[in-house]
Every structure is written in structure tokens, then in C-alpha cells.
């Protein structure tokens, strides 16, 4: 981005331009919202309108997506000796509940698939 264009920026767009120029890990859009990850403090900084923040977790908000992915990949969820287990294409893992076991199996499977 050239100097003239940066001189015209303000607010979130200026924050974004600075973060990008510094080489920070950013996700989002210059018009907001966007996030910047601080590796030192292990904190995600959020920039933009607070109304656009959606705090979520796979366990809380994305369980349906996780279960759909498990179904797509043919996961089998079961209990053995009171422990939740998941079998997924040769991967067998345990979890404190079915969702944790499925998340673990999917993470292992997809990391292998994408490497």
C-alpha cells in the first residue's frame, strides 16, 4: 500500500495497515473486523465493532459441524469400559466424551490428509 493511500486511512483500516506492515499474523478484512495473534502473550487481539464478535468453540457452537464431519469420514463412536472412543479410518482415540474423541480423531486424520 502506498504512502498516499495510508495517509488517508483511519480507524480499523489504519490498524490493519499497520499490523500488515509489521508482518503480524492477521485474519480478516481491512474494513474490519480483523484479528491479530500475539505469539508472545498467546493472545488474539480483536479490532472492529464489538457487535461482530462471536466467541465460540467446537464443543459449544460447532458440535453439529464436527458431527457432520465425523459422519462424512465414517467415524464410529462407542463406549468401552466407561471411556468414550472413536474409530476413524484406522485411527482409534479416547476422549472424556464422544465429541472430544471425535475432535481428536478428526484432527489426527485431517492433519495426515493435509500433510
**pLDDT score at 49:** 80
Q: Quick check: is 35 in a domain?
A: yes
**Tens of pLDDT along 90-113?**
999 999 999 999 999 999 999 888
Crossing angle (nearest 10°) for helices 98-113 and 63-72: 60
Query: 3-class DSSP state for residue 95?
Result: strand
Contact 35, 26 (CB under 8 A): yes
Q: pLDDT tens, 28-45?
A: 988 888 998 888 888 888
- Domain count of the chain? 2
Helix ranges restricted to H, the chain: 3-7, 11-21, 63-72, 98-113
pTM for the full model?
Answer: 0.59
pLDDT of 10? 82
CATH code (residue 84): 3.30.160
Domain that holds residue 13: 3-52
Helix, strand, coil: what percent of the chain each, to 5?
40, 25, 35
Q: Is the pLDDT of residue 77 over 90?
A: yes
The answer on 73 and 40 residing in a single domain is no
Amino acid at each position: 500500500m502506498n504512502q498516499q493511500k495510508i495517509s488517508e486511512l483511519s480507524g480499523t483500516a489504519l490498524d490493519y495497515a499497520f499490523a500488515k506492515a509489521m508482518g503480524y499474523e492477521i485474519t480478516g478484512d481491512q474494513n474490519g473486523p480483523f484479528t491479530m495473534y500475539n505469539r508472545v502473550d498467546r493472545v488474539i487481539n480483536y479490532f472492529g465493532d464489538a457487535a461482530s464478535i462471536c466467541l465460540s468453540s467446537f464443543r459449544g457452537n460447532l458440535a453439529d459441524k464436527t458431527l457432520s464431519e465425523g459422519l462424512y469420514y465414517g467415524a464410529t463412536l462407542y463406549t468401552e469400559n466407561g471411556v468414550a472412543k472413536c474409530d476413524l479410518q484406522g485411527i482409534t482415540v479416547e476422549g472424556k466424551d464422544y465429541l472430544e474423541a471425535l475432535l481428536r480423531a478428526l484432527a489426527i486424520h485431517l492433519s495426515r490428509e493435509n500433510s
